[in-house]
Amino acid sequence: MPVQNWMTTDVVSVGPDTSLLKVGKLMKDHHIRRIPVVDDNGQVVGIISDRDVRDASPSKATTLDMYEMHYLLAELKAKNIMTAKPITVKPTDTVEQAALIMLDNKVGGLPVVDDNGRLVGIISDHDVFKALVDITGARMGGLQFAIELPDQPGTARPLFDLLRAHNARLLSVLTVSNADGNRQLFIRVRDLENSKAEQELMDGVGKLGKVLYCQH
């Protein structure tokens, strides 16, 4: 799934000389946790997180008076607190690639740029969660089960033959290989006509491999 199908395109961004005061207000007004910083050409030069704003703001224990704090927040600029040259992704990159980058670099969002480095969107961990829900068909309900099979060519064919024989309509299929030479298949199908039909299906599944769980 390409990033362009899940990213936010209506992106709030700021320039390098935007004050910390305004950055904080934009985050609060738009309920966002990160803001890309772009230059006059729309190219991404940095990103600011809500943590960056908190770390740069005076603590509650400060001895500064209200006017001094306001002056400090107005004088500090986005370029002073941003993470320069942030990691970015392209619209054609996959959501899986974006998720892996976020996980490996411990960040919650990535600017999406075109071939010229111009900002065209942003993808966040929340967008990845939405994609996961869609991929797994979780909102569609149905019967979900997991089975462990040998990680060898053709071992899943009897399972899909069984599903076809029971007129089970697939909603999603996910698979994970294990280090022990097996793989786990996570299957979601539409509800069968009755509980008896579901039990017969699962009895057949149990003869093909180790059933890890079965639930609605």
Q: In this predicted model, what pLDDT tens digit does every residue of 79-96 receive, in sequence order?
A: 999 999 999 999 999 999
Q: Does 66 lie in the same domain as 14? A: yes
Helix locations, 57-194, DSSP H: 66-75, 78-81, 95-105, 125-136, 157-165
Q: Residue 114 burial (CB < 10 Å; 0-12/13-18/19+)?
A: middle
pLDDT at 136: 87
Q: Does 120 lie in the same domain as 30? A: yes
Domain count, the chain: 2
CATH code where residue 101 lies: 3.10.580.10
User: pLDDT tens for residues 35-91?
Assistant: 999 999 999 999 999 999 888 775 544 545 555 556 566 668 999 999 999 999 999
**In angstroms, rounded to a whole number, what is the distance separating the alpha carbons of residues 199 and 132?**
28
Which of 132, 151, 175 is the endpoint of a domain?
132
> Against a cut of 0.85, is the pTM above it?
no
Residue 180, helix vs strand vs coil: coil
pLDDT at 67: 55
Q: Does 97 lie in the same domain as 178? A: no
Q: Does 113 lie in the same domain as 182? A: no
pLDDT at 59: 53
pLDDT at 62: 53
pLDDT at 21: 86
In the structure encoding, which two tokens stand for residue 74, read together?
């107005």
Q: Does 64 lie in the same domain as 152? A: no
CATH code where residue 162 lies: 3.30.70.260
Range of the domain at 164: 137-215
For the chain, what percent of residues have pLDDT higher than 90?
76
Q: Does 105 lie in the same domain as 12? A: yes
Which of 110, 132, 154 is the endpoint of a domain?
132
The four Cα atoms 57, 58, 64, 66 give a dihedral, to 10 degrees, of 50
The four Cα atoms 79, 33, 113, 6 give a dihedral, to 10 degrees, of 180
pLDDT at 69: 57
User: pLDDT tens for residues 163-186?
Assistant: 999 999 999 999 999 888 999 999
pLDDT at 61: 42
Which of 117, 132, 147 is the endpoint of a domain?
132
In the structure encoding, which two tokens stand for residue 75, read together?
């004088």
pLDDT at 72: 62
Is residue 15 within 8 Å of 38, Cβ to Cβ?
yes
